[in-house]
Structure 1
């Protein structure tokens, strides 16, 4: 299963990615700002999602809003 970012670049465990669009957090009033760096990502069972720590919270992010560093 190939996991790719918004530009089609292959993502691997431990990569760092940048958020390319302000994202609202479900169930919260907070927003992940564009340009936020998510380091040391983990791949999930879904090719369109990754897990990463954002502000000390582990979140699942859609790869269509991410760019590999």
Structure 2
């Protein structure tokens, strides 16, 4: 069994907390991200994921939203 299969097996057996794993490894946690959806770019701050794997994003007013679909970008230059 390779590393991914081992991790996947532990996850499906409920022995890995995916929310905590995300916090350890996310490069964008508490950083600005841009959601591109339907031709509209919206800036958020990444706040983690839900146990179901949806991205949690916070807007400039402090309102948190679960992101289910869309492209995430890090395009903040000029």
TM-score, length-normalised on structure 1? 0.48
TM-score by length of 2: 0.44
Of structures 1 and 2, the one scoring higher in RCO (CA 8 A, sep 6+) is 1
